[in-house]
Structure 1
Amino acid sequence: MTIATGVGSMPGEDQHAFAEAVRTVLGELPELTHLPELPGRGVTATMTGRALAVMAGLGADLQPAGWRLTDAPGVDHRRARSLLGQDLDGFEEQAQGFAGGVKIQVAGPWTLAATVEKPRGDKVLSDVGARRDLAQALAEGVRAHVRDVRRRVRDADRLVVQVDEPALAAVLAGRVPTASGFHRHRSIDLPEASAALGWVLAAIEEEGAEPWVHTCAAGTPLGLLRGAGVRGLSVDLDRMSAADHDVLAEALEAGETVALGVLPTSAPSTVPTPGQVAESVARWLDMLGLDPATTGPRLVLTATCGLAGASDQWARRVLGLLRAGAAELTG
């Protein structure tokens, strides 16, 4: 049957909100729950802060311009690691006996390279050696992270690692601004982009987890992601090109997973029913010549992106709608 999951982020600004988010996702997403991310708690809880907390062998610190690599972890880097550890402890406690699938998220190497600065300034993206070092440090860190999560959720029947790459399309198109803001970093060649992603995805798969890539940015080359070794593609249904539809159909037919963003991250003026959610997905599958009865759990319904900016009420409701829509699609 088709199942539902969340992209990752949830609303909330403190640890009480995190505990409530864990209760919500465990209750609403029994087939494939996820470790919530609450960026509203501050910079150490953002996508970049979380990825740096996972990264192995490199230090970082927070500067006025943002995160910067350093020789040793600075105080904010240590805080990011501590917060991730607290979150994993809280998730582990509430997930005791949980036997469904578990998904964790981490920013990908190209989004990090476009966000984090080198020790002497400017983005990591500007230096080929720094790009390589960051991607390899992330791959090794993710490897250890997967082992830690698996130890904590021993009863889970599936472990997914979603690599978030919202900046990849901009990196490939040469649209990332330099530190001055007056110029743009040169575009990255496709072979290099694929190789760096491949290191991270291979580390995930070698640890027995499923590597997914999520992007809600139009223009991301999904074929490149498949070539780099993804086993799941998470995309926004409304931002796909004709070529994207073809790649997703090929992925489903090859036994890979497609997570389809079908509900908005903020409450619309007219909230769809589960039947309407199911109907929109059924129309898409029909366009591809696929039957929902044959795609099974390889087709996953999600929101279009994270829910950090949603109200608490909508965040809970959208997860319930996704689960009900998924059930109705193959009911």
Structure 2
Amino acid sequence: MGSLPGEDLREWTKVLFEVVSIPFLPELPAQPYGDMVSRAVGLLTDLALDLQPAGWRLTGGTDPRASLDQRRARSRLLEDLDILEEFADGYTGPLKIQTVGPWTLAATVELPRGDKVLADHGARRDLAEALAHGLQEHVAEVRRRVPGADLVVQLDEPGLPAVLAGAVPTASGWGKHRSVDGPGAVELLSRVLEAAEPAITLVHCCAARPPVEVFTKAGAGGVAVDISLLTDAAWEQIGLAVEAGTLLYAGVVPTTGSLPNPEQAATPLVRRWRELGLDPALLKEVVITPACGLAGSPSPVDARRRLELLRSTAEVVAEKAEE
């Protein structure tokens, strides 16, 4: 879904163009400034941030006063794009890039005087606007470097369920930030998704009850979820979304533990699809993915094996849809 183990981005980029149907610009958290939040900070050309022991923090300045750490994060991103451009020379087809969504970013980045951006309505709006602007520039840059690509833009929102539930701790640890309502969540998420147009968009959230309705109302073309975690209520929301035209990115290949065979990986998805009475023709359109990012895999070899399993699992799903 984006993150991979190790520090060799060049080797991973080569592997992705060989192994998966939708290659992507990988995130390598083991590298300095290679994690998903630092990658997003590298996009924020309208806001200045610095890196503290507790994480990234707004400094209250604008881009010309960006900290050394922010400049390094931006430099890392540009170096990664150089490698992508090299391996994607002459490539045509789908190509995915990803960044943290506005709500997870607001629940992670701190204000200049402490606490999360989430606590300040104006600050979180400014952060979302800066992210939208940075993403728009990023999309344009990738299009320039890989003109034959059909871009897919993924927003990672692992923190949004906690934001909606009012479960994000305050800086003191004694309380929780006030919950955000559905319309408010849709508004900022929609702003960032619009910045990616005309690329295909999806929102990724590995949770038992991902807020699928928020994602679809915000205009996401697809939702990416971990199939093994979903509750019955979540499946009902996914069923409604799929029938309305939303593309499902189904995380069926586990990120750790024993590696299933293609039949084993496909079975939970196919079984639930049939239980919900969903159209088999729509099952053929489901994109098969790892359950979540693979940065936690014990080794690059293990992560590659899980990526290699995706094609054969997709073939099994397609065959089951015909039965």
Shift, 1:228, TM fit: 1.1
Please tell me whether the aligned partners of residues 217 and 239 of structure 1 are also in contact (alpha carbons under 8 angstroms): yes
Which of the residues 96, 99, 112 maps onto 2:92? 99
3-state DSSP class of the match of 2:42? helix
Structure 2 CA distance, aligned partners of 1:223 and 1:235?
A: 13
Shift, 1:96, TM fit: 1.3
Which of the residues 254, 278, 302 maps onto 1:290? 278
2:263 counterpart residue number: 275
1:19 counterpart residue number: 10
Structure 2 CA distance, aligned partners of 1:115 and 1:74?
A: 18
Please tell me whether the aligned partners of residues 207 and 230 of structure 2 are also in contact (alpha carbons under 8 angstroms): no
Shift, 1:215, TM fit: 0.4
* 1:314 matched to 2:308: no
Please tell me whether the aligned partners of residues 51 and 69 of structure 2 are also in contact (alpha carbons under 8 angstroms): yes
Matches within 5 A, 1:57-72: 57-70=46-59, 71=61, 72=65
Please tell me whether the aligned partners of residues 253 and 306 of structure 2 are also in contact (alpha carbons under 8 angstroms): yes
Which of the residues 166, 174, 180 maps onto 2:172? 180
TM-align CA RMSD: 1.4
2:121 counterpart residue number: 128
* 1:159 matched to 2:151: yes
Which of the residues 235, 238, 247 maps onto 1:245? 235
* 1:232 matched to 2:248: no
For residue 200 of structure 2, what is the amino acid of its counterpart?
E
Please tell me whether the aligned partners of residues 267 and 314 of structure 1 are also in contact (alpha carbons under 8 angstroms): no
Shift, 1:245, TM fit: 1.4
Please tell me whether the aligned partners of residues 209 and 233 of structure 2 are also in contact (alpha carbons under 8 angstroms): no
Structure 1 CA distance, aligned partners of 2:18 and 2:271?
A: 29
1:90 counterpart residue number: 83
Structure 2 CA distance, aligned partners of 1:233 and 1:91?
A: 25
Structure 2 CA distance, aligned partners of 1:65 and 1:267?
A: 31
Of stretches 178-187 and 248-257 in structure 1, the one that deviates more from structure 2 is 248-257
Please tell me whether the aligned partners of residues 124 and 131 of structure 1 are also in contact (alpha carbons under 8 angstroms): yes
Shift, 1:121, TM fit: 1.6
What 5-or-longer segments of structure 2 have no aligned partner?
none
1:326 counterpart residue number: 314
For residue 51 of structure 2, what is the amino acid of its counterpart?
L
Structure 2 CA distance, aligned partners of 1:191 and 1:282?
A: 33
Which of the residues 289, 297, 302 maps onto 1:302? 289
Structure 1 CA distance, aligned partners of 2:70 and 2:217?
A: 33
* 1:8 matched to 2:2: yes
Shift, 1:39, TM fit: 0.6
Greater relative CO, 1 or 2 (CA 8 Å, sep 6+): 1
2:163 counterpart residue number: 171
Provide TM-score, normalisation by structure 1.
0.91
Deviations 1:78-123 (A, max 9, x none): 0000000000110110111222211111001111111101112211
Change (3 A) 1:294 1:64: closer
Change (3 A) 1:164 1:294: closer
3-state DSSP class of the match of 2:250? strand
What 5-or-longer segments of structure 1 have no aligned partner?
1-6
Identity %: 50
Of stretches 239-248 and 141-150 in structure 1, the one that deviates more from structure 2 is 239-248
Structure 2 CA distance, aligned partners of 1:236 and 1:266?
A: 13
For residue 104 of structure 2, what is the amino acid of its counterpart?
T
Structure 2 CA distance, aligned partners of 1:181 and 1:66?
A: 16
Structure 1 CA distance, aligned partners of 2:276 and 2:89?
A: 40
2:37 counterpart residue number: 48
Shift, 1:294, TM fit: 4.0
Deviations 1:137-178 (A, max 9, x none): 11111111111111112122x211100000101111111111
1:3 counterpart residue number: none
Structure 2 CA distance, aligned partners of 1:292 and 1:279?
A: 14
3-state DSSP class of the match of 1:45? coil
Please tell me whether the aligned partners of residues 234 and 259 of structure 1 are also in contact (alpha carbons under 8 angstroms): yes
For residue 166 of structure 2, what is the amino acid of its counterpart?
G
Shift, 1:202, TM fit: 1.3
Structure 2 CA distance, aligned partners of 1:329 and 1:172?
A: 33
Of stretches 306-315 and 178-187 in structure 1, the one that deviates more from structure 2 is 178-187
3-state DSSP class of the match of 2:251? strand
For residue 27 of structure 1, what is the amino acid of its counterpart?
E
